[in-house]
Amino acid sequence: MRGWAGGRRALSSGGVPEGVPAGVPTATRPFESIPCDGRNRWLNLYRVWRAGGFQDFHLRMDGAFRRLGPVYRERVGTSQCVNVLLPRDAAQLLRAEGPFPRRRGIEAWSAHRELRNQPCGLFLLNGPAWRAARLALNREVLSPAGTRKFLPLLDAVARDFAAAMRPRVRDAPGGALTLDLHPLLFRFTLEASTYALYGQRLGLLGGGAAGGAAQRFIAAVETMLRTTLPLLFLPPPLLRRLHPPLWSEHLRAWDTIFQHADESIQRIYREFCRGGAGAAGGLLAELLLQGQLPLDAIKANVTEFTAGGVDTTAMPLLFTLFELGRNPGVQRALREELRAAEGGPGGAPPLHELLSALPLLRAAVKETLRLYPVGITVQRYPATDVVLHNYRVPAGTLCQVALYAMGRSPDVFPHPERYDPARWLGKDDTSFRALAFGFGARQCIGRRLAEAEMLLFLVHVLRNFTVEAVSTEDIRTVFRFILMPETPPLLTFRTLD
C-alpha cells in the first residue's frame, strides 16, 4: 500500500507555498497543467492491448495515481478523461453535474438498440427523457417504500438457497463442503432478481442443472460484459471493420438477453391482462399498475434491470464470503449481531426492522465494495466548469472518480488493506467515500434492491453456516467491465447447529 508521494512532488514542484500541507488546493491552475499519463492516445491504446487487454485497467489506474498524484489526464483511443481519487473531488463533480447528469456513454450498447430498433432504458438515456423515466421509476425501485415490497421475495429466495445448501454440506465428507460458489451465486442472483422483477420463480436453486434458457441467459450476460470493454475505446463502425467476430458476439449476447426479458415480460403481461395473481409483488406488475410510463419504456427498463441485476450482485457476495472466510473474527461479530437482532422477546422482527438492526452487516457490504467495487470508476461530464484538486476542468470534459484506487488509498482509508467493517461505524468522516453505487440523481437505481438482496443472502448464510476461505492470500482481480476474481476463491461451508 502506498501514499501518493508522486502527487506531492507534482504539487510542490508546481509551487505549493511552504507550510501548506500537500493535497490542499491553492491557486487554480489551467487544465493543460494536469499531469498526463502517456502523450499519444493511439500508442496508449496499443500499450493496453499489448499488455493483455483491458483487464488490468484498475491496477493501471492505481499505478498512475501513485506516479502522478491524485489527479491526472489520460487518453486511450477515442477516449480522453481526467481521473481523480479524492472524496472531495467526487463532491465537486456532484456539485457540477447539473440537472441532467451524464455518464460515459456505451456506444456499443446504444448501437445495438438502434440496430434492433429497441428503445433505450435509463442507463443509456440522457437529458429530459432520462429525467422523466428516472422520476417515474425512483418511486417503485429506489424509495424505501418501493424496496420494502421486494423484501419478502428476496428473503424467500435467500432462505431457499440456504435450504438447498444444508443437505449438501451435511452429507459432504466430515460435514465440510469445499466449493467454488460462484455458479451458485449466479443462480441465486438470477432467481432473486427475476422474482423481484417479475414476481415469478425460475426454480434455479433446486440442485439440478439450471434450465437451458437460464443457462443461456447467464452466459449471455457474461459475454455481453466481457465484450463491452474492448468496445469502449473504439467507435462501433471501426470495430465492425477491425474485429467483426467480437462485434457479432456482442450483438448476439444482447439479443439473447432481450429475448429472455421479452419472454418474461410477455408472460407477466398476459397474466396481468387476465387479472391473474401470479405476477403479484413483482416490479413489472407494479409499473404496469402505476401506469406512469408507456409500455415500451417499461419494457426497456425492466430488460435493463434484468441484465444489470445478476453479475453486479453476485460478485460482491463472492468477495464478501471470501473476506468473512479469511476474517473469522468479523464473521463471528456479524453472527452475534444477527442473533442479538433476532433474539428479542417478540422473536424475529419484520424484515425491514431486522435489516436496520444490522449496522455491522451493512458496513461489511460497504467494506467489500470499498475493496472490490463492481464498477472501477464513476464518470461524469460536468455541466459547468469545475475545480478538481486545484485544476480548472472545462464543462463537458469526461471525469472519472477512480473507486478502486480510492478504496485502496491510505490517504483516504487508514490501513486500506484491512477488511474492517467497523471503520464505517465510527466517528470518522465517511462522506463521498462509499461510492460503489455512484452518487447524486443518477446513482444506481437498483441500489436498494441489490443491498437488500445481499443483506438477506448473508443473513441466511450466517444463520446456517460457517464459512472458511481455503486460501487466505489476496485474490487477483480482473476488470471485465465489472471487477471479478481472476480465479474464484474456494470456500468451505460447515453447518451450524
Among 6, 309, 407, 416, binds ligand HEM (CB under 6 A): 309
Residue 448, number of CB atoms within 10 A of its CB: 18
Residue 405 in contact with ligand HEM, rule: CB under 6 A:
no
Among 153, 165, 444, 467, binds ligand HEM (CB under 6 A): 444
CA count, 13 A, side-chain hemisphere, 227: 25
Calpha distance 12→390 (Å, rounded):
12
> At residue 355, what is the residue type?
L
Residue 103 in contact with ligand HEM, rule: CB under 6 A:
yes
Q: In this structure, are residues 393 and 387 in contact, taking their beta carbons and an 8 Å threshold?
A: yes
Beta bridge partners of 257: none
Interface region with ligand HEM, contact rule CB under 6 A, candidates 54-62, 228-236, 263-271, 444-452 = 444-452
CB of 167 to ligand HEM, least distance (A): 29
Calpha distance 400→439 (Å, rounded):
12
Tell me the three cell numbers of residue 263: 419472454
Q: By C-beta, is 282 or 308 nearer to ligand HEM?
A: 308
Residue 442 in contact with ligand HEM, rule: CB under 6 A:
yes
Residue 312 in contact with ligand HEM, rule: CB under 6 A:
yes
Burial of 240 (0-12, 13-18, 19+ CB in 10 A): middle
Nearest to 32 by CA among 66, 80, 67: 80
CB of 495 to ligand HEM, least distance (A): 27
Tell me the three cell numbers of residue 85: 481519487
Running DSSP on this structure, what letter comes out for residue 440?
A: G
CB of 350 to ligand HEM, least distance (A): 23
CB of 198 to ligand HEM, least distance (A): 12
Q: By C-beta, is 312 or 390 nearer to ligand HEM?
A: 312
CB of 439 to ligand HEM, least distance (A): 5
Strand 386-388 relative to strand 176-180: parallel, antiparallel, unpaired? unpaired
Q: Which of residues 114-133 bind ligand HEM (CB under 6 A)?
A: 122-123
Q: By C-beta, is 181 or 449 nearer to ligand HEM?
A: 449
Beta bridge partners of 37: 74
Residue 436 in contact with ligand HEM, rule: CB under 6 A:
yes
Q: Which of residues 202-261 bind ligand HEM (CB under 6 A)?
A: none
Q: In this structure, are residues 119 and 264 in contact, taking their beta carbons and an 8 Å threshold?
A: no
Q: How many residues does the chain have?
A: 497
Interface region with ligand HEM, contact rule CB under 6 A, candidates 14-22, 52-60, 163-171, 433-441 = 433-441
Residues within the interface to ligand HEM (CB under 6 A): 103, 122-123, 134, 304-305, 308-309, 312-313, 316, 374-375, 378, 436-439, 442-446, 449-450
